[in-house]
Structure 1
């Protein structure tokens, strides 16, 4: 449980630093979707902490995959919420697609144990990376 508390504190600190630096003053769609996405990520985190009762090696491995999904979901929900401030609409959409593909496949793979879902994570990571890079390059 300490690991989960550390993640929550880390996400809170990222949000506070962003507010201090003046980010997030706009109230655009990405901010609202980011807030909703963060709430959903917390719901998945709570569910995941109670859903995995298997104590064998495979059960522990599936739980780790599921945990990666909600941790990335939570961190990128914060990034999504503040993506409106970079004045590049594509950034928010890249984060939304990346969260859906990466975290969604981690949730599905962790809950179902079906390895077909693991290939979608690579595409999700690519969208998340492009989301971060879009903040650096190009104009509106």
Structure 2
């Protein structure tokens, strides 16, 4: 008995499967009304128009504009960070921090574009903007200046970013 014969027996020819199939066959012929029949779909000529996208995002145009400004700032800061001269001491770590801040800046700028489509756009957008300023801003500051004075605000900014994403699902 090969592998194919074994699977064939287990799936189709064993006594439990054949017995169950016989019971179902007898039950369906004896009680034809038990079988679920799909309802007929009644086709209507009504066309439901969805609202225009501009009507959906009208309440959040401020965040679209902020996303434009933030995106431009992210590009400028990314270019500056690529060409900035870091001091020898700790330059690799500071470069990584700067690159990470720039990636988060870009990602959350794109998230700002989706904020007007949320149920609570003002709350979601405000949390994302505040989180970007506190998280990305303090990372940029630390990477460029080497000063760790504002690093305590970085986790606060990260928490605000998380809450901004979570309020998008409310």
TM-score range, shorter chain: 0.7 to 0.9
Compute the RMSD of aligned alpha carbons: 2.0
Q: TM-score of the superposition, structure 1-length normalised?
A: 0.75
For structure 2, the residue ranges without an aligned partner over 5 or more in a row are: 1-52
Alignment pair present for 1:128 and 2:165: no
User: For 1:98, what is the secondary structure of its paired residue?
Assistant: helix
Residue in structure 2 matched with residue 19 of structure 1 by the alignment: none
- Report the 3-state secondary structure (helix = DSSP H, G, I; strand = E; otherwise coil) of the residue aligned with 1:26: helix
Q: So what's the TM-score if we normalise by structure 2?
A: 0.63
- Say if 1:95 and 1:127, in contact at 8 Å, map to a contact too: yes
1:26 aligned residue: 57
* Cα distance in structure 2, aligned partners of 1:126 and 1:98: 7
* 1:53 to partner: Cα distance: 4.4
Task: Kindly name which structure, 1 or 2, has the bigger radius of gyration based on alpha carbons.
Answer: 2
Aligned to 1:72: 104
- In structure 1, what is the equivalent of residue 117 of structure 2? 85
3-state DSSP of counterpart to 1:116: coil
Give the Cα–Cα distance (whole angstroms) in 2 for the partners of residues 74 and 108 of structure 1. 17
Q: Residue 26 of structure 1: CA displacement?
A: 2.0
Question: Is 2:136 the partner of 1:103?
Answer: yes
Q: When the two structures are aligned, how many residues end up with a matched partner?
A: 115
Is the CA contact (8 Å cut-off) linking 1:52 and 1:63 kept in structure 2?
no
Q: Distance in 2 between matches of 1:132 and 1:74?
A: 15
- Listed one character per residue, the Cα deviations across residues 45-91 of structure 1 (whole Å, up to 9, x for unaligned) are 0000000344x460111111111111100100010121111131200
Contact residue 91 and residue 131 of structure 1 kept, 8 A: yes
Alpha-carbon offset, residue 118 of structure 1:
1.6
Structure 1 moving runs of 4+ over 6 Å: none
Match of 2:147 in 1: 114
CA contact under 8 A between 1:34 and 1:77: conserved in structure 2?
yes
Aligned to 2:57, the other structure's residue is in SS state coil
